[in-house]
């Protein structure tokens, strides 16, 4: 069973307990967007956040901590902005 580290809290967990975030690059844009990789099949590097229960949402605290520390950009090795869908889903 593959294990990954949450970039927010640092917890090591099986891959099915985490949500993958990947980089979506758009032509002509200077920065890339960090988006959900629901299927886990987007090309390139991925960063993982703890999953909130059975939901397809990350733990709000992990996302906030990862954003505050710049862990998403560091984990993805790219200057990224958070996708609006990503932030909105957690704030509900």
pLDDT digits 0-9 by tens, 29-80: 777 888 889 888 999 999 999 998 877 888 889 988 998 999 999 999 988 8
Which pLDDT value is given to residue 80?
Answer: 87
Q: What predicted TM-score, i.e. pTM, was given to this entire model? A: 0.85
∠89-59-83 over CA atoms, to 5°?
40
pLDDT at 22 exceeding the cut of 80: yes
- Where do the domains of the chain lie, and which CATH numbers do they carry? 3-91 (3.30.1230.10)
Which pLDDT value is given to residue 55?
Answer: 76
CB 32, CB 79: distance < 8 Å: yes
Phi/psi zone of residue 36: left (φ > 0), alpha (ψ -120 to 50 degrees), beta? beta
Residue ranges of E strands in 10-64 = 12-14, 18-24, 32-36, 46-50
């Amino acid at each position: 069973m593959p294990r990954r580290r949450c970039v927010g809290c640092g917890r090591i967990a099986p891959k099915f307990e985490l949500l993958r975030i990947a980089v979506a690059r758009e032509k002509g844009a200077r920065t890339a967007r960090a988006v959900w990789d629901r299927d886990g099949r987007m090309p390139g590097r991925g960063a993982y956040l703890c999953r909130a229960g059975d939901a397809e949402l990350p733990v709000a605290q992990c996302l906030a901590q990862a954003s505050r520390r710049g862990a998403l950009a560091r984990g993805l090795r790219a200057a990224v902005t958070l996708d609006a869908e990503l932030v909105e889903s957690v704030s509900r």
